[in-house]
Amino acid sequence: MKTIAIHQPNFLPWAGFFDKLDRCDEFVLLDNVQLARRCYTTSVQVLQGGTPVRLSVPVQHTGSQDLMIRDARIDRTTRLLAKAARTLKICYGRCPYWNDYGEPIVQMLNEPEEYLVTLNIKLIRFLAQALGIPLEKLRLQSELSGSGKKSQLMASLTQAVGGNVYLSGGRTPDEGPPTQKTGTAADYNDPFVFASHGVELVYQDFIHPKYDQGLIEFVPGLSILDMLVRCGNDTLGQIRQANSRE
């Protein structure tokens, strides 16, 4: 069995992104799909003074809604990335592992790449390496022969890298017809399409580990950097423990 996961190259992704990367054999980054407006490919939340705040990567507007992720250029006429770098230091500069993980990211944001996808993949590779996840797992959609949309694209990309199991984000749906939207990939995955390609569809069922944020109530869904600067080398171990499978 060879398990494949597929995801957009998000900006400073959350813990669930890296749990999926950790659990698969190969991980395909979708660089040849449309860049959605106000999505996690261009933004993420971090914790400032106990409150989630959003950081964004400015992208040049082209006047078209059909801008592909691989073609999106960073808008260097704004100071948003420099502001994001300053905000990260304000948020996490006093955390125990800031120098190990925060400072290198600040440097990357202060010397941005021309293209969004280049910056995001650079950040993803740094974070994966910091967690101890092999970088050899990462593949680019644009280098593969997958085709179609939605489930057809996911199934064909899984086949393109020799996989027979597709690890989807979201939660395993209840048996029988869905009674309501879940807000996860289960809402749009078509099991019949995967079956027709000989690909088994499984779900991540991610459980967010709780760690000390210095707050009474834990805030999930932030950039993995929030966890790394607080937990250091124990970060991936805590993610694995929260998501252990018999």
Q: For residue 61, what pLDDT is reported?
A: 77
pLDDT-derived band at 76 (thresholds 50, 70, 90) equals confident
Confidence band for 64, pLDDT divided at 50, 70 and 90: low
- Does 218 score more than 90 pLDDT? yes
pLDDT per position as a tens digit, 19-57: 999 999 999 999 999 998 889 999 999 999 999 999 999
What are the tens digits of pLDDT across the range 97-149?
999 999 999 999 999 899 999 999 999 999 999 999 999 999 999 999 888 89
Contacts (Cβ under 8 Å, ≥6 apart) of 217: none
55 φ, ψ to 5°? Answer: -105, 145
Residue in 202, 189, 226, 246 with CA at minimum distance from that of residue 18: 226
Q: How many whole angstroms separate alpha carbon 163 and alpha carbon 65?
A: 32
State pLDDT tens for residues 4-14: 999 999 999 99
- pTM comes to 0.94
